[in-house]
Amino acid sequence: MKKTELFKLLAKTGYFGLLVLIPAWHLWLSPPALGISPWLVAALWFIPLLFPLKGIIQNNPYTYAWSAFVALLYLMHSMVILLTDPAQSLLAVIELLLTCLFLSGNIYFAKYRGQELGLNIRKKKAAQEK
């Protein structure tokens, strides 16, 4: 298996795992307390995951690159829950693992796929000298 395919698989595993975990967490596994609607909380955490859906399904390396920023939101969420709410630590660990798969897969898939396509963000020496 090529590196590109491996990292794409890792990213998709983490991404689709988060798509399943987030609504399950906030609607059924551990609904929010304090009278807040679980549907509102689930929607607030689920909607950002929908932005890169089309590009991830189409294997667009640009989408994988920018969706790493979306993954950072879930990385921060899982770390905050781990540090503040021991009752939800198992769910936070699962979210952290899925987010790490998504984030690392995104970064390396975008890198290696960009190299395969001949994309480069660095200027070539000849272009710099002119």
Structure confidence by residue, pLDDT tens digits, 14-63: 999 999 999 999 999 998 887 889 999 999 999 999 999 999 999 998 99
The per-residue pLDDT for 34 is 78
DSSP 27: I
Q: Does pTM top 0.85 for this prediction?
A: yes
Average pLDDT across the chain, whole number: 91
C-alpha dihedral sign at 73, 76, 82, 85: negative
> What integer is the mean pLDDT of 77-104?
96
- Cα gap 130→124, rounded to integer Å: 10
> What pLDDT does 126 receive?
55
Per-residue model confidence (pLDDT) at position 36: 87
